[in-house]
Structure 1
Amino acid sequence: MLAKLKFLLYYTHRFRWWYAGGVVFLALTIWASVTIPEYIQKSIDIIAQGRAGNEDQFYQYVAIILGLALVLIIVRTFSRILFFVPGRLIERKLKGEMFQKLSSFGKDYYDDNSAGSIISRINNDINGVRMITGFGLLQIGNILFSLSVTPYKMWAMSPTLTLYCMVPLVVIFIIVRTGMVVMVKNTHLRMDALQRLSGKTVSFLSGNGVIKSYNIHKWAENQVEKENVSLFDYTLKISWIRSFVMPLLGSMEQILKIVVLFVGGLYVINGEFTIGELTEYIAYAALLTHPIMGLGWVLTVFQQGFVGISSIQTIMDRKGVDDLKPGLPTEEKSRLVHQGVSVKNLNFTYHNGEGPALKHISFDIRPGQVIGITGRLGSGKTTLINCLNGYLKVPPGTLYFGQKDASELRGHDIRSAVRTVSQDVFLFSDTVENNIAFGAGLNLEEEHLQNVVYRSALADELGRFPKKEKTMVGEKGIMLSGGQKQRISLARALYAPGQLLILDDVFSAVDSDTERFLIRQLFENKVASSLLIISNRMSVLERTDFTIVLEEGQMVAKGTHEELLRDSEFYRETWQVQEGGRK
């Protein structure tokens, strides 16, 4: 509980002046609310007297009531603005900080947490924090002011009648508090069920093509239905509690009116109260019920919000993979690969792997060199390039950029110098030009864009699009072919090139003519200081300075095209198959 309160204090303290203004206007709201019944009492007593000549005083009281009502509208509006706006600002800030935090996590976190679970935390849990820092704090202030001023006014009029009113309030509060304890438990379970349902929904929507191909709609529907029913059960339990608690709170005003009318009516009959005073006391009783009713909502908001905070804290309290590493100055980042890259006896095991994915890998990349990597499926090619680009964290002393140990560098600093075009292409639902300029912060330069489009073999195809570079690619590039998506990804890397450019099987989805054009552009134009190409295409590998052959995570051969034809059986067989196909 203390950790959650510190969490709330950390964010609300930044907007303390908003809340301070809200408290002032909230106090004015309560003052106006408890003052109006006094003048209502005086007005009714004048009416009850029925004496001529009291019209001016009656008009004065009515005017005061109207004035106070107008003040009440204004101050109540400002009190809500000054509480609700910081709640929204905290929501925006928290979402930004959470996204930044999520960006700092490594592969192990995303292996253990589904996208749906993360989306649920960003939307539902942060919404709970917004409700606490907006509506929740407003109601707390309203309750504290109301329960301090209103009971005082009631006690001043009749201590005995006030005690009669307290009895049903205490009984109802105990019942409500018991119901809230059960509600909290089910709210925790509901949040877990919602995260599981979100995860399965995102997973099945992303894999909709596979579901259709294998005709497993029924299985997918059953999986979603299972989580949906679980969510429904927990939500229904919460609804049952609310359906009992909320009407009980809503009936509290009527219960108090009955108590006041019965006891206060006897006071009027016995001459201890006037009709006006009884009316004033009923008004105070009505004012008292609103904060008590609000207390029920506040308890719900805080219970759900604290569940959300617990979920958010699992993210915000987790250390990012690079949090403790100092960042490099801009000048050093720009020269990170100038002295080359050295891999020294690299061994790498995934956090959930049973054995090493890479074993005893050693080679050097010098400035100006073009290096090839080839091997069978699952031989460790993608793992190796993810070690080079800082996505996977390598052991100390196994990877160097110049004289700097990669294990001591931030992944962001490494990727500022090392650009990767992966085989898993991802495009944003935006225009072609924005997808290309994404790596350069969407800083569009028309001449440079056209040059990159040409070098990526996209010029002719974009020319056939009605909107050319401004064509929308759709969700994940659904409007484009595999080859077009791959070349847009290549254009993105060429638009904002790094010192070392890694191309992971970028020729797999293009025809032979396009492949020859791209090879010529990459080799004849200096697209980066050094180039690392992962491919099984001999037309590419025969032009590299040297090629590495991987097998089961080990480097089994290294050399030029001619040397590998002589020394590597896999390389030689691959060349023979491709040469046979050409003939």
Structure 2
Amino acid sequence: MRKSAENEVVSGWDVYWRLLSYVRGHWPMFILAFIGFALYAASQTAAAKWLEGFIDAVESGNLDQRVWLALAIILIFLVRGLGTLLGNYGFSYVARAVVSRLRCQMFDHLLVLPCAFYQRHTSAELLSRLTYNVEQVTGAATDALKTAVREGLTVIGLFGYMLYLNWKLTLLFVAIAPLVGAVVALASKRLRRLSHGIQDSVGDISSAASEAIKGYQVVRVFGGAEAERARFNRVSERNRRQFMKMVVTQSITTPVIQMLVAAVVALLTYIAMSPALLASMTTGQFIAFISAASLMAKPIRQLTEINSTVQKGVAAAESFFKLFDEQPERNTGAVTLTSAQGRVEFREVSFSYPDSEGPALKQVSFRIEPGETVALVGRSGSGKSTLAGLLPRFYDVKEGEILLDDRPLSEYTLESLRSQIALVNQHVVLFEGTIAENIAYGALAGASDAAIRAAADAAMVTEFTERLPQGLNTLIGENGLLLSGGQRQRIAIARALLKDAPLLILDEATSALDTESERFIQTALEHVIQDRSTLVIAHRLSTIERADRILVMEQGVVIEQGSHEELLAQGGSYARLYKMQFNQD
């Protein structure tokens, strides 16, 4: 038990030192802040020294020093104000720089993590790390450091002055150091554990709220408001309980340490007033000594309170660094693909998702020649979308091999490989902005207005944008909230058309279109797919009748393949699916 606690402390310090590495790039501002707080600490010690001089001057009747004593007060507070300004500005500058760097680094890393990572973590959890956790991390990296520097220098200054006045009495303060350390160590373990609980509960709150807000229509129609309310109240209550446990721990720790300091100050007062010690010190020195000892109580208390901030930050940093340590997508290819011919071959490909019970694909083999259209059909869960996701290397195959232009996909760089592929998903993703910006998205942002309009015309986007006041420049809201499902899908198709890639993947590309729009889109797609290799996934068999070859999949296996007419003539699974859809005997 003790060994595990020691390991936790060591790992905590390792995490904290790693966190402090983010401050290194801002040493000039950090040094400025350090100088500022050194001036602040010096003013505190100077105030105790001023009190000594004032009392000695009054006691000795040396009233001629009043001018210097008055000017000294102004100088002390001037130095204190300047030091506070420099210290606060410097540390605040570093704090926001660390926040920005951490968020940008996390976001950059999220963009290169493999698809399997996103299957293990919800979007609400990741957003919680970007918002709540990063602020906790910043508190540990800068706010706690600010308090440590300011109050630490103050304690050092006052302690040094007390040593100068009477070193024997000052050593009593050293006696409480082990007791304070024991209390802080005991509280640290519990604070960090509670911080983990609070961070998890914040992620649960974000997840519960996000799902209820996004699915508000389903919630209301199916009477789920009460269940969602109960769920949200449950995770909110868990967050409250975790937070209150932390408050109780802090509230107990601080008074205990304050009492230890107060006991030492009381003992100092008792001993210092003995006749032998009073004879060796002037009245001014005696009062200055007691004042310095009393002044140390506040910085010592604040130094112990930063423990909770540090522990919250360390707990948050652990979640950050755990994410940073996630391995990005494997991008070991060295060949840059500039213009693919479009020859695709699957050789005995088998694939299983992480933590899945069985394989999603089993020894799948087929070829797509340049300019050929191959369609995948089958029941839901038969492996069609999985197979399509392997081509852009969203997942890497463990068994078998996929070749493009007679080279394994792993030999190409990810960026160049994906630049040769256009994709239309079943679940369309749009971004906040205009319709034109969503068509010319990412690397397509430099496309001309004429090219954007041509793609929009081909995908029947202009059919509905002509009725909008701003046309293609109309803002569509979050994920195209202001558009219908069919309109959103047409924008996704226009995006793929604008890319004009030699490989085209259509995963239920027409599933959200009405019959009339689908007819127009099919006509447009027939022109588009003539010069490129196309992989089509469809439930509506009417949309793939003209495909060069149709693969019928079932439980991850290709059970039939051939043209539409050939498969109907075989009278197998495809023929049954076709008859079922069109009510034919």
Deviations 1:463-505 (A, max 9, x none): 2223333333233322211101111121222233432111111
| Residue type of the alignment partner of 1:326 | T
Identify the range of structure 1 (514-523 vs 101-110) with the bigger mean alpha-carbon deviation. Answer: 101-110
What's the TM-score, normalizing by structure 2? 0.87
In the alignment, structure 1 residue 548 sits paired with structure 2 residue 551: yes
Q: Name the CA shift for 1:557/1:235 in 2 (closer, same or farther; >3 Å).
A: same
| Residue type of the alignment partner of 2:128 | S
Aligned to 2:29: 18
Does the 8 A contact of 2:568 with 2:574 survive in 1? yes
In the alignment, structure 1 residue 224 sits paired with structure 2 residue 232: yes
Q: Name the CA shift for 1:417/1:399 in 2 (closer, same or farther; >3 Å).
A: same
Q: Name the CA shift for 1:10/1:245 in 2 (closer, same or farther; >3 Å).
A: closer
Q: Name the CA shift for 1:177/1:432 in 2 (closer, same or farther; >3 Å).
A: same
Structure 1 vs Structure 2 CA RMSD: 3.2
Does the 8 A contact of 2:44 with 2:158 survive in 1? no
Q: Percent identity?
A: 24
Distance 1:235 1:305 in 2: 15
- Which of 124, 134, 143 is the equivalent residue of 1:126? 134
Q: Name the CA shift for 1:91/1:115 in 2 (closer, same or farther; >3 Å).
A: same
Aligned to 1:440: 443
Q: Name the CA shift for 1:471/1:266 in 2 (closer, same or farther; >3 Å).
A: farther
Aligned to 1:190: 198
Does the 8 A contact of 1:439 with 1:492 survive in 2? no
In the alignment, structure 1 residue 469 sits paired with structure 2 residue 472: yes
Distance 2:466 2:255 in 1: 66
Match of 1:354, SS state, is coil
Aligned to 1:142: 150
Deviation of 1:360 after TM superposition, in Å, equals 2.8
How many residues align? The count is 573
Deviation of 1:409 after TM superposition, in Å, equals 4.6
Does the 8 A contact of 1:557 with 1:568 survive in 2? no
Aligned to 1:561: 564
Q: How does 1:499-518 map to 2 (within 5 A)?
A: 499-518=502-521
Match of 1:385, SS state, is helix
Does the 8 A contact of 1:86 with 1:133 survive in 2? no
Deviations 1:340-392 (A, max 9, x none): 21111222222232222222322222222233222233222111111122112
Does the 8 A contact of 2:371 with 2:532 survive in 1? yes
Distance 1:518 1:268 in 2: 102
Aligned to 1:487: 490
In the alignment, structure 1 residue 39 sits paired with structure 2 residue 50: yes
Distance 1:440 1:30 in 2: 54
In the alignment, structure 1 residue 75 sits paired with structure 2 residue 88: no
Q: How does 1:203-218 map to 2 (within 5 A)?
A: 203-218=211-226
What's the TM-score, normalizing by structure 1? 0.87
- Which of 364, 369, 374 is the equivalent residue of 1:366? 369
Identify the range of structure 1 (497-506 vs 274-283) with the bigger mean alpha-carbon deviation. Answer: 274-283
| Residue type of the alignment partner of 1:4 | V
In the alignment, structure 1 residue 290 sits paired with structure 2 residue 293: no
Distance 1:327 1:145 in 2: 54
Does the 8 A contact of 1:186 with 1:238 survive in 2? yes
Q: Name the CA shift for 1:74/1:558 in 2 (closer, same or farther; >3 Å).
A: same
Distance 1:165 1:517 in 2: 86
Structure 2 gaps, min length 5: 1-10
Deviation of 1:103 after TM superposition, in Å, equals 3.1
Deviations 1:66-103 (A, max 9, x none): 12322322233222333332232222222222223333
Deviation of 1:33 after TM superposition, in Å, equals 3.0
Q: Name the CA shift for 1:283/1:446 in 2 (closer, same or farther; >3 Å).
A: farther
| Residue type of the alignment partner of 2:191 | M
Deviations 1:176-220 (A, max 9, x none): 554444333333333344434444443444444433333233333
Does the 8 A contact of 2:136 with 2:316 survive in 1? yes
In the alignment, structure 1 residue 393 sits paired with structure 2 residue 399: no
Match of 2:490, SS state, is helix
Deviation of 1:266 after TM superposition, in Å, equals 6.6
- Which of 268, 271, 285 is the equivalent residue of 1:277? 285
Does the 8 A contact of 2:36 with 2:82 survive in 1? no
Distance 1:435 1:572 in 2: 39
Does the 8 A contact of 2:272 with 2:278 survive in 1? no
Q: Name the CA shift for 1:525/1:224 in 2 (closer, same or farther; >3 Å).
A: closer
Match of 2:358, SS state, is coil
Q: How does 1:326-337 map to 2 (within 5 A)?
A: 326-328=332-334, 332-335=336-339, 337=340
- Which of 427, 430, 437 is the equivalent residue of 1:424? 427
Does the 8 A contact of 1:94 with 1:126 survive in 2? yes
Q: Name the CA shift for 1:509/1:185 in 2 (closer, same or farther; >3 Å).
A: closer
Distance 2:211 2:59 in 1: 72
Deviations 1:406-459 (A, max 9, x none): 245554443222221110112223332222222336446322222222112111
Distance 1:338 1:326 in 2: 22
- Which of 210, 231, 234 is the equivalent residue of 2:242? 234
| Residue type of the alignment partner of 2:33 | G
Deviation of 1:134 after TM superposition, in Å, equals 0.7
Does the 8 A contact of 1:397 with 1:407 survive in 2? no
Match of 1:363, SS state, is strand
| Residue type of the alignment partner of 1:426 | V
Distance 2:88 2:393 in 1: 48
Does the 8 A contact of 2:43 with 2:77 survive in 1? yes
- Which of 28, 32, 38 is the equivalent residue of 1:27? 38
Deviations 1:101-127 (A, max 9, x none): 333333433333333333333333322
Does the 8 A contact of 1:434 with 1:442 survive in 2? yes
| Residue type of the alignment partner of 1:227 | V
| Residue type of the alignment partner of 2:402 | L
